[in-house]
Amino acid sequence: MLEGWSGMWKSVSFISMLLAFVALAGEGHAAISYERLDGAPGERGLAIKGAFEISDDPKTLVDEYKQFQPAYITFDSPGGNVIVAIEFGRIIRALNARTIQIRAMECASACAFAFVGGVHRFAEPGSIGVHRVSLSDDAAMDSNLAVSSVQSLTGEIIGYLTDMGVSPNLLQLSLSIDSTDIRYLTSAEMRDWNIITPEDMSSPSAGAPPSPDAAPQVSATPAVTPSDPSDSEEAAASEPGDLTTEAVDFVNRYNDEWSKYSASALDFMKRVYADEVSFFGTSTKTLS
């Protein structure tokens, strides 16, 4: 299973040792399992559930995929072992499968690497979370080995993202987020870094996972936020515009901003709200 891996690894014994301790923070408590999602004809999906663990064999995904022949693969996973998640991602790519992720299901940490294995990929804003790769606490090693292991792992991740056509900016962002925290990707980030593919898979015919509580879907293409808010206000004053399009654009911008840090999100809300709003008939002043 490991023989076809990149030349980044110098020996099988080193890989085995690395697998023993390299994981993402929030390591899971259960191995992955599969759930078949039955939808309309041609729209059924396969959910990969649970955390990625060393004991998980990606070949089981091949068997399950060929038996069920789903239209897409989705995830409900808090993360787990990053090397194993990359193995699953390579298997997904070899199967020529597509991946879809919605906010109603979890895909965090190592799961992000498995997700980008899809040939065609769609994800709702805020549905994929990342944070810094960490070493599991039960692995005893000296500082030199730790540094060497992290460098090798970083090289493997960059090589994998490059093979999948995804920008290494995904790893750069992950490294900036503490392992005890999590950062959910915006639609702009997923678009610009090729985490999602241009193909629009948000329509029902694309086989999105069924979710009774899911909100009505909007376009996956984010609006471009002007550098000066007055520019958009002047444009709106000069042209009538389509209220539906404007509403969708605002929702996309809202999702983008609230996936960022608190200061940025609050600044956005200050700009889009009027100085005074009516809240259930009561006039309320907003933050200045």
Q: Are residues 136 and 18 in the same domain?
A: yes
238 found inside a domain: yes
Q: Are residues 44 and 130 in the same domain?
A: yes
Closest to 139 measured CA to CA, from 153, 129, 128, 125: 153
In this model, does residue 12 exceed pLDDT 80?
A: no
In this model, does residue 23 exceed pLDDT 90?
A: no
Q: Are residues 98 and 156 in the same domain?
A: yes
Partnered with residue 278 across adjacent β-strands are: 283
Residues 75-92: tens digit of each pLDDT:
999 999 999 999 999 999
Say if CB 86 and CB 160 are below 8 A apart.
Answer: yes
Number of domains in the chain: 2
Q: Are residues 189 and 247 in the same domain?
A: no
pTM as predicted:
0.61
- Interatomic CA distance for residues 179 and 278, integer angstroms: 41
Residues 39-56: tens digit of each pLDDT:
766 689 999 999 999 999
Q: Which residues of 91-130 are buried (b: 16+ CB within 10 A; e: fewer)?
A: bbbebebbbbbbbbbbbbbbbbbbbbbbbbbbbbbbbbbb
Q: Are residues 245 and 153 in the same domain?
A: no
Q: Are residues 172 and 243 in the same domain?
A: no
23 found inside a domain: yes
End position of a domain, from candidates 205, 238, 267: 205
End position of a domain, from candidates 205, 240, 264: 205
Q: Are residues 49 and 171 in the same domain?
A: yes
pLDDT at 24: 40
211 found inside a domain: no
In this model, does residue 62 exceed pLDDT 90?
A: yes
pLDDT at 178: 86
What CATH number does the domain containing 120 carry?
A: 3.90.226.10
pLDDT class of 265 with cuts at 50, 70, 90: low
90 found inside a domain: yes
218 found inside a domain: no
End position of a domain, from candidates 173, 205, 237: 205
- pLDDT: which is higher, 139 or 226: 139
Q: Are residues 26 and 157 in the same domain?
A: yes
pLDDT class of 219 with cuts at 50, 70, 90: very low
Say if CB 1 and CB 58 are below 8 A apart.
Answer: yes
Q: Are residues 16 and 128 in the same domain?
A: yes
In this model, does residue 152 exceed pLDDT 50?
A: yes
The domain containing residue 257 runs over which residues? 223-285
Phi, psi at 175, each rounded to 5°: -70, -20
Q: Are residues 189 and 67 in the same domain?
A: yes
Q: Are residues 259 and 118 in the same domain?
A: no
Name the residue type at position 285: K
272 found inside a domain: yes
Given the DSSP bridges, would you call strands 99-101 and 121-123 parallel, antiparallel or unpaired? parallel
- Alpha-carbon 208 to chain mean position: 15
SS3 labels along 101-162: ECCCCCEECCHHHHHCCCCCEEECCCCEEECCEEECCCCCCCHHHHHHHHHHHHHHHHHHHH
Q: Are residues 192 and 131 in the same domain?
A: yes
Partnered with residue 9 across adjacent β-strands are: none
Which residues, other chains included, contact 69 with Cβ-Cβ below 8 Å and sequence gap of 6+?
none
3 found inside a domain: no
Say if CB 70 and CB 46 are below 8 A apart.
Answer: yes
Task: Choose the weakest-confidence range: 42-46, 108-112, 208-212.
Answer: 208-212
214 found inside a domain: no
In this model, does residue 168 exceed pLDDT 70?
A: yes
